[in-house]
Structure 1
Amino acid sequence: MSNPSYQFAQVSGPSIDWRLRRNCSVTPSQLGWFYGSLCALSLGIGLFFWFQGATLVLTFAGLELALVGVAFLAYARHATDGEWISLQGPHLVVELETAGRRERAEFARQWVRVEPKSGDHSLIELSGQGRSVEVGRFVRPELRQALAREIRRALRSA
């Protein structure tokens, strides 16, 4: 049987893997370096005005940096979120990572159902043996049906 091509998956030997990740242009370490340079610049300007007699500038610069730091922290917590779906022989393994917390579900290949959660552009529900997992958060809604078809095709292939 020929090896089918996949749009979202990578085939390596007998296993088929889908790595669905958030599209982040900045890594958490790059964001940390940027925030550090922003702090240095903003505090430098605040100290300059402090010595000129405008004492409130440093207070507002600190408040601004604290708020920007909270926003950057929220971004960095979710920058590595992702979904990993792996078809390994008789098992379909799904791992979800959200804000550093990882969940894992394993299904017997022959019992897995692949369905949209509610409509054509909704998340994809993988279910079987009394468990269900929603995937497709990191795929554009109009491409989720293609991902579901691809997973179904891989489950049916020998």
Structure 2
Amino acid sequence: MDWRLKRNCSMAPRQLLAFYLSLCILSLGIATMFWFQGARMIMTFAWIELFAVGLALWVVARHATDSESIVLRNDRLTVEVANGQQVERVEFQPAWVRVEPAHGDQSLIELSGQGRRIAVGRFVRPELRSQLAQELRHALRRWQQGAARPSPV
């Protein structure tokens, strides 16, 4: 069983780059026209503006591919949380995993067991997190009953 949870992004990092480059061309083109008209300060402000917008878009693009992956296979429950350049990976034995909200019904879902814990559900609407927790509990129960285990070949 797999759960793949991703950030809802309207633009991929490449699309953000294309948007930014078109913005640079337009803004510097207008600033260049003012430069030749004698308004030299416009170019300085255009560069400052483009630097600020570029920095903001860079921050957005770094987190555009954030995701959470929960995989229940064989005798392992593997959880990976990617946040920017950091990837946190935790493996559990399914029989020892507890699934519970971290602080309340609509808070993140905390998976814990064997001295490890990890929170998931950042990319699920708060009102749907309890449904995700129920799905995880159900899958773990099925695994414990042997229904989710593959037959030996």
Question: Shorter-chain TM-score category?
Answer: over 0.9
**Matched ranges for 1:5-154 at <5 A:** 16-154=1-139
Over 3 Å off, 4+ runs: none
Output the TM-score relative to the length of structure 1: 0.89
Deviation at 1:103, TM superposition (A): 1.1
What residue identity is the alignment partner of 1:75?
A: V
Output the TM-score relative to the length of structure 2: 0.92
Structure 1 unaligned spans of 5+: 1-15
Deviation at 1:88, TM superposition (A): 0.6
RMSD: 0.5
Q: Distance in 2 between matches of 1:100 and 1:48?
A: 40
Q: Number of residues paired by the alignment?
A: 143
Q: Distance in 2 between matches of 1:102 and 1:88?
A: 20
Q: Distance in 2 between matches of 1:89 and 1:150?
A: 18
Equivalent pairs: percent with the same residue?
61
Q: Distance in 2 between matches of 1:108 and 1:70?
A: 42
Structure 2 unaligned spans of 5+: 148-153
Q: Distance in 2 between matches of 1:118 and 1:81?
A: 23
Deviation at 1:90, TM superposition (A): 1.5
Q: Distance in 2 between matches of 1:94 and 1:19?
A: 10
Q: Distance in 1 between matches of 2:105 and 2:88?
A: 25
